[in-house]
Amino acid sequence: MRRAHRLAAGLLAAGALTLTGCAQSVEPIERLGRKAVRSVAPKVRAVGAAGAQGLRAHPPPAPRAGAYARWGLRAPLRAAPAPPVRKPERPFVVHRVPTRDKVVFLTFDDGAERDPEFVRMVDELKLPISMFLTDSVASPGYDHFDRLRRAGGGLSTVQNHTVDHTYLPGLPYAGQRAQICGQQDRLEARFGTRPRLFRPPYGAYNNQTLRAAGDCGAEAVVLWGASMQINDLRYAYGDRLRPGDIVLAHFCGPGELKGATITEMTTRMLRRIQEQGFAVARLEDYL
């Protein structure tokens, strides 16, 4: 862990890792995060396939007819199976949900981009996304993220990505707690619900981060197993998605996406997911 933290700090100092958080800037820490998971994370119970008991009492509404074509997809999104009855033990660190279901989970970080077209896309496709928001970046647009949260039948959620997107292992426990608890309090005050999930900036954390996250009420520290680049997916393992992969994306605009919009980037991501035969499920149903 200490070597991983020193390397991350060196990347920050050298400018190899930026503070913007957009997709192309996160890969060095992604690999450090995997190493940290193996060395720190508690064991989790295997999550069995969902049975009849896991069926929702009220299934999510179906996407609007023809919505997939309107948003540049060649076919409707595959329907996600019922969520599992058994969940991993808590608290825990996860970069991939232990499941046999052929599902992946979409997560978007930071909150710099507030494109109303993306709200319409999420609404019409009934697309579940988990939004890990940083207060210093997202707070001027919290109304936008509230609309996203309500879009598509309310499948999407707001989660914690610290107050200032700070490299947490460089802070003592008190500083880390202020970053995590401070954002818990802000998000609860604005959206009425205290986040259950926490993502450390750059995927970098230490034992003090885990202690602070637990003390602030987070049930899981969420990393990722794949990330969305401007035109394609990048995988932490192999060259394909795996069941339970958590996909990292960012609320980035055309200036950071070489002219592309967040809706265009998401369409490309959904096409890759469809090509590999996966459904998009709601992360909070599995954790």
147 inside domain: yes
Quickly list DSSP for 63-132. Answer: PPTTHHHHTT-SSPPPPPPPPPSS---SSEEESB---SSSEEEEEEEE-----HHHHHHHHHHT--EEEE
Judged against a pLDDT cut of 60, whether residue 44 lies above it is answered with no
Q: What is the mean pLDDT of residues 96-101?
A: 93
Q: How far apart are CA 132 and CA 196, in angstroms?
A: 11
Supply the mean pLDDT for the chain: 81
Judged against a pLDDT cut of 80, whether residue 141 lies above it is answered with yes
Quickly list DSSP for 169-199. Answer: GGS-HHHHHHHHHHHHHHHHHHHSS--SEE-
Pick the range with the lowest mean pLDDT from 56-65, 123-132, 210-219.
Answer: 56-65
Question: What does the pLDDT read at residue 21?
Answer: 52
2 inside domain: no
Judged against a pLDDT cut of 70, whether residue 61 lies above it is answered with no
Q: Across 126-280, where does the E strand assignment appear?
A: 129-133, 157-160, 197-198, 220-222, 226-228, 233-235, 246-250, 279-280
Per-residue model confidence as pLDDT tens digits over 234-246: 999 899 999 999 9
Q: What is the mean pLDDT of residues 198-205?
A: 97
96 inside domain: yes
Q: How many domains does the chain have?
A: 1
The pLDDT-based confidence of 5 (bands split at 50, 70, 90) is very low
Q: What is the mean pLDDT of residues 187-210?
A: 97
One-letter amino acid at 134 equals T
Q: What's the chain's length in residues?
A: 287
Copy the structure tokens of residue 267: 């369409």
Question: What does the pLDDT read at residue 78?
Answer: 82
Closest C-alpha among 158, 217, 170, 115 to residue 2 = 170
The answer to whether the CB of 111 falls within 8 A of the CB of 134 is: yes
153: left (phi over 0), alpha (psi -120 to 50) or beta: left
Q: What is the mean pLDDT of residues 164-184?
A: 98
85 inside domain: no
Judged against a pLDDT cut of 80, whether residue 136 lies above it is answered with yes
The pLDDT-based confidence of 101 (bands split at 50, 70, 90) is very high
Question: What does the pLDDT read at residue 135?
Answer: 98
Pick the range with the lowest mean pLDDT from 44-48, 54-58, 268-272.
Answer: 44-48
One-letter amino acid at 71 equals W
Question: What does the pLDDT read at residue 32?
Answer: 38
Question: What does the pLDDT read at residue 26?
Answer: 38
The answer to whether the CB of 101 falls within 8 A of the CB of 243 is: yes
Judged against a pLDDT cut of 80, whether residue 197 lies above it is answered with yes
Helix axes 207-215, 173-191, angle to 10 degrees: 40
CATH number at 107 reads 3.20.20.370
19 inside domain: no
Please state the pTM of the whole predicted model: 0.76
Percent helix / strand / coil, the chain, rounded to 5: 40, 15, 45
Question: What does the pLDDT read at residue 46?
Answer: 33
133 inside domain: yes
Q: Which of 44-48, 56-60, 68-72, 259-263 has the highest mean pLDDT?
A: 259-263
Closest C-alpha among 131, 133, 167, 132 to residue 29 = 167
If DSSP codes are grouped into helix, strand and coil, which group holds residue 234?
A: strand
* Domain containing residue 150: 33-44+66-78+90-286
116 inside domain: yes
Per-residue model confidence as pLDDT tens digits over 145-167: 999 999 999 999 999 999 999 99
123 inside domain: yes
Q: What are the residues facing 249 on neighbouring strands?
A: 108
According to DSSP, the β-strands at 233-235 and 226-228 are antiparallel
> Burial of 214 by CB count in 10 Å (0-12 exposed, 13-18 middle, 19+ buried)?
middle
